[in-house]
């Protein structure tokens, strides 16, 4: 199953501590099972952890790529990406976080436009801040997934973000309510839905929380490549969401 042009999916949040990066990896696992060539682009430029969580060599990163592109030293993307398996590649965040501020946003746009022709899916991890780099990722996205908990500030911030999207007449966002996150709030899915005035596109239930998550990270494994996790209620919800996005 190959797509003619990559789907660009950005995973973000309206505050830190929602399980966003773990969700990115879980989505990547399902994309791998769907045999879609996927590149994870880590745009959390100051504290990106995708490469570290997968135990990948961080010899090259997005900063190196942008610098080489700017100075006409770029040859091919394979010189900068790390391979996780046959279907998942990773373009890591800067090894040195001080280099995050040196990356010019216009090169992010150029990189994404070229990756679209080489992969089936571009899966972008971001921070929750509205800096220029993240805005470029959001503008380039076919789907923007907001991972939130039922924490009160999450609800308030997400409501404000929805208002911004409506004001811009953009509707390519989807809401993932992560009830499996340890610091999840006390409001129910119905409470959150009513407060936001929006449907919840994907619910990750409390039972999806994995007490062995540290073991997966230590071994550099993606949870959803485990068949038991894949067939769980939370796994099925994430897979259904992905299939919907791919078909849109």
Q: What total of structural domains would you count in the chain?
A: 1
User: In this structure, is residue 107 part of a structural domain?
Assistant: yes
Task: Give the confidence band of 12 by pLDDT, cuts at 50, 70, 90.
Answer: very high
User: In this structure, is residue 2 part of a structural domain?
Assistant: no
pLDDT of 4 = 75
Residue from 136, 179, 141 nearest 23 by CA = 179
User: In this structure, is residue 227 part of a structural domain?
Assistant: yes
Domain extent, residue 144, equals 7-247
In this structure, what CATH number is given to the domain that contains residue 125?
3.40.50.300
User: Residue 99 is encoded by which pair of tokens?
Assistant: 């280099």
User: In this structure, is residue 39 part of a structural domain?
Assistant: yes
Q: Which pTM does this prediction carry?
A: 0.94
pLDDT of 3 = 57
Residue from 145, 139, 129, 143 nearest 22 by CA = 145
Contact in structure between 74 and 157 (CB atoms under 8 Å): no
DSSP H helical segments within the chain, as ranges? 20-33, 50-53, 62-70, 105-115, 132-140, 152-167, 189-196, 213-219, 227-230, 233-247
Least confident of 57-71, 110-124, 160-174: 57-71
pLDDT of 29 = 97
Q: In whole angstroms, give the CA distance from residue 22 to residue 38.
A: 16
Task: Give the confidence band of 2 by pLDDT, cuts at 50, 70, 90.
Answer: low
pLDDT tens per residue across span 197-241: 999 999 999 988 877 788 888 899 999 999 999 999 999 999 999
Q: In whole angstroms, give the CA distance from residue 132 to residue 135.
A: 5
User: In this structure, is residue 53 part of a structural domain?
Assistant: yes
User: In this structure, is residue 1 part of a structural domain?
Assistant: no
Query: In this predicted model, which residue has the larger pLDDT, 169 or 129?
Result: 169
User: In this structure, is residue 66 part of a structural domain?
Assistant: yes
pLDDT tens per residue across span 113-125: 999 999 999 999 9
């Amino acid at each position: 199953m190959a797509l003619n042009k990559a789907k660009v999916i950005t995973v973000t949040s309206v505050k830190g501590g929602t399980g966003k990066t773990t969700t990115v990896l879980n989505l990547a696992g399902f994309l791998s099972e769907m045999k879609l060539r996927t590149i994870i682009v880590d745009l959390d430029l100051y504290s990106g952890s995708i490469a570290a969580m997968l135990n990948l060599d961080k010899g090259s990163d997005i900063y190196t790529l942008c610098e080489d592109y700017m100075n006409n030293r770029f040859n091919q993307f394979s010189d900068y990406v790390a391979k996780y398996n046959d279907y998942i590649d990773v373009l890591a965040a800067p090894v040195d976080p001080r280099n995050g501020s040196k990356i010019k946003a216009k090169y992010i746009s150029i990189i994404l436009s070229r990756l679209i022709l080489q992969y089936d899916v571009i899966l972008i991890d971001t921070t929750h801040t509205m800096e220029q780099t993240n805005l470029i990722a959001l503008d380039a996205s076919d789907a923007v997934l907001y991972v939130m908990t039922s924490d009160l500030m999450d609800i308030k911030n997400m409501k404000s973000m929805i208002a911004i999207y409506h004001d811009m007449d953009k509707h390519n966002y989807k809401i993932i309510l992560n009830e499996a996150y340890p610091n999840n709030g006390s409001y129910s899915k119905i409470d959150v839905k009513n407060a936001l005035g929006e449907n919840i596109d994907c619910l990750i239930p409390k039972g999806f929380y994995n007490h062995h998550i540290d073991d997966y990270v230590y071994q550099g494994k993606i949870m959803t490549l485990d068949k038991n996790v894949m067939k769980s209620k939370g796994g099925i919800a994430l897979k259904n969401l992905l299939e919907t996005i791919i078909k849109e």
